[in-house]
Amino acid sequence: MFNKGKSKQEAGGQVYTGRKDVKRINYMQLLAGILIIIALNVFGSARFARFDMTTERRYSLTDATKEMLRELDDMVYFRVYLEGSFPAGFTRLRNQTREMLDEFRAYSDYIDYAFINPARAGDREQVSRTYDMLMSKGLEPTQLQVRGDDATSQQVIFPGALVSYDGKEVPLKLLHDQMGMPPEQVLNNSAQALEYNIASAIRQLTISEKEKVGFLEGQGEYDHRYVADITHSLERFYEVERVRIDERYQNVESFKTLIVADPQEPFTEEDKFILDQFVMNGGSLLWLVDPVFADMDSLRPPDYETIGMGWPINLDDMLFNYGVRMNTDLLQDLNAAPIPVTTGYVGSRPQISLLPWHFFPLVSPASEHPIVKNMNLVRTEFVSSIDTVAAGDIEKTYLLHTSPYTRVLQTPTRIGLDILQNPPDEQLFREGPKPVAALLEGNFESVFRNRIPPEVDLPAGFQLRDKSEHTAMVVVADGDIIRNQFERGNEPLPLGYDRYSGETFGNKDFILNAVNYLTDDSGLIEARAKEIRLRMLDRTRISQDRLQVQIANMLLPVLLVFGFGILRIFWRKRRFSR
């Protein structure tokens, strides 16, 4: 009896001692955890680091953006007017915008923002004044259809922001429409462009020294009024001037990029030599050239027809040497911009209809290059095809091409409005996509290599070069993509806006992106290459397996938590009952 009691008492003492050990271990773990947290905070205050665990690195800024943010010396304030009760897609865009601004703010204390609902500015009159103010400052409204329980209502939103810095302010567009794209893809592509668009707005406000970009004159290129809108847009980032070569290299040597906008007269050998040496010394060129002469102004009564023919401007040998051949053909495309045509009369009043004019193809991105990534369709007029040719180590990338429903017409060819009277024969439009724009990059060889150079005015001590520094050029077989249309009062319209259809095409984005890339605009163009994958649910499968999906998403997690709790209870009982 005595021995049994003693054993029981010893057993009780062992249990008591074990509980004291567990308590002491818990205190030690708590103290260790506190010390670890303190150490991490001390280390974090000394060294900055962020970890992006997403597969596409959606929360990682490019090095150029980080460098720009570190150089800020004053507050950049974002007033974002994307706030309120939205459908899921716009709610996601709002949240992604906030997350991107938080990421910018993590690299600079000079970034701040506020999300504002303009529909709550006050009474109806105040809201109307707010809307007018936002539109006057460059923000574009978007109408949404909001479905309620019993009805559908219209909601006006402004998916954009006003960005201010040092007394200056610029609009920031957050939603970028793309014709033919489903709404989910448009919103996803807009999210992909957030870093680039926000960084571009900051750079536009903070840039102090601008690179020089020149519009070439002297060969019948577009005068200022035809390129007024793109000139205004480029002036936000660059010092833009109009320049004549006049056989003097000094006239162009200070420019980073030259734009050749639809020349109508042949280049002299002297001016070609100046442009060639401009390239050899690292300058970049944006060629917008029509290989074929064709003009809507030539379609006059009574026949309303003209002849499209090759238009020599003495650039073929130069461009061929650099790596591209511009073909003297005309492309027709079933995917084309419309023009107004008289289709009948009611009494003496003509009836005007918009019909697709197949000589005005709507071209689309031909690659995933940052210049054209996620870009809207580009409106062209009487465009030709181009081919790349062997040219040393030049890297060539097609940027724009027509649709698969293309027809190639060799010149000379007849162009007449009478083709609109009958539906097109679709069997003729089966020649596949044809490239119309290309990017050339690398070290170019001079077209005047092993040739006697012409007599031109060169600076003292100028060294002729046969091989260029690393540079780039963009070649487009259409000069009209840079030309803006006009209102009835002869005021220039935004580039890309078609006053007949009311659609806005991607012409301005293409020109801006091309110039940004050619001028090596602080590397910000890299942000356009960012890709955010759209992981959409399979709506058909959801509809067919609705009950299984609901069980898997609602009941299964609860059962898993419940089962884990039961297992933990049994585990604890078994551990502490020993």
Using one digit for the tens of pLDDT, what is the confidence trace for 204-214? Answer: 888 878 899 99
Output the pLDDT for position 213.
96
Q: What is the DSSP letter of 445?
A: B
What span, in angstroms and rounded, lies between the C-alpha atoms of 22 and 299?
95
CA max distance for the chain = 131
Question: 48 falls in which pLDDT band (50, 70, 90)?
Answer: low
pLDDT > 90 fraction of the chain, expressed in percent and rounded:
46
Rounded to the nearest integer, the mean pLDDT of the chain is: 85
Range with the largest mean pLDDT of 117-121, 146-150, 268-272? 268-272
- Average pLDDT in the 450-456 region? 89
212, 250, 458 from 462: Cα distances, Å: 21, 10, 6
pLDDT in tens, 69-128: 988 999 999 999 988 888 878 888 899 899 899 989 988 899 999 999 988 877 888 888
Question: 191 falls in which pLDDT band (50, 70, 90)?
Answer: confident
Q: Check whether 224 has a pLDDT greater than 90.
A: yes
Span of 177-181, 399-403, 554-558 with lowest mean pLDDT: 177-181
Sign of the torsion formed by the C-alpha atoms of 150, 154, 160 and 164: negative
What span, in angstroms and rounded, lies between the C-alpha atoms of 84 and 91?
9
What span, in angstroms and rounded, lies between the C-alpha atoms of 274 and 271?
5
Helices assigned H by DSSP within 367-473 = none
- Average pLDDT in the 174-203 region? 79
- Average pLDDT in the 331-359 region? 86
Question: 560 falls in which pLDDT band (50, 70, 90)?
Answer: confident
Question: Do 287 and 475 contact (CB within 8 A), yes or no?
Answer: yes
Q: Check whether 312 has a pLDDT greater than 80.
A: yes
Q: Check whether 286 has a pLDDT greater than 50.
A: yes
Higher pLDDT residue, 256 or 192?
Answer: 256
Q: Any bridge partners for residue 364, and if so which?
A: 401
Question: Do 307 and 495 contact (CB within 8 A), yes or no?
Answer: no
State the Cα angle at 319 between 315 and 321, rounded to 5°.
Answer: 120
What span, in angstroms and rounded, lies between the C-alpha atoms of 215 and 260?
6
- Average pLDDT in the 175-197 region? 76
State the Cα angle at 283 between 277 and 287, rounded to 5°.
Answer: 95
Question: Do 326 and 316 contact (CB within 8 A), yes or no?
Answer: yes
State the Cα angle at 179 between 177 and 183, rounded to 5°.
Answer: 60
Collapsing DSSP states into helix, strand and coil, what is residue 348? coil
Output the pLDDT for position 13.
46
pLDDT > 70 fraction of the chain, expressed in percent and rounded:
86
State the Cα angle at 462 between 459 and 464, rounded to 5°.
Answer: 130
What span, in angstroms and rounded, lies between the C-alpha atoms of 44 and 389?
54
Output the pLDDT for position 523.
61
Token pair for 405: 């429903």
* Torsion from C-alpha of 83, 84, 87, 89, nearest 10 degrees: 10
Output the pLDDT for position 151.
54
Higher pLDDT residue, 488 or 56?
Answer: 488
Question: 544 falls in which pLDDT band (50, 70, 90)?
Answer: low
DSSP string, 168-207: EEEEEE-----TT--HHHHHHHHHHTHHHHHHHHHHHHH-
- Which candidate, 163, 126, 119, places its Cα nearest to that of 142? 119
Higher pLDDT residue, 485 or 45?
Answer: 485
Query: Angle formed by the axes of helices 183-192 and 194-206, to 10°?
Result: 50
Output the pLDDT for position 291.
96
Question: 530 falls in which pLDDT band (50, 70, 90)?
Answer: low
Span of 149-163, 210-224, 345-359, 387-401 with lowest mean pLDDT: 149-163
Span of 156-165, 265-274, 277-286 with lowest mean pLDDT: 156-165
Q: Check whether 336 has a pLDDT greater than 60.
A: yes
Q: Check whether 473 has a pLDDT greater than 90.
A: yes
pLDDT in tens, 365-390: 999 898 998 788 999 999 999 999 99
Name residue, tokens 């078609």.
498
Question: 400 falls in which pLDDT band (50, 70, 90)?
Answer: very high
- Average pLDDT in the 293-312 region? 87
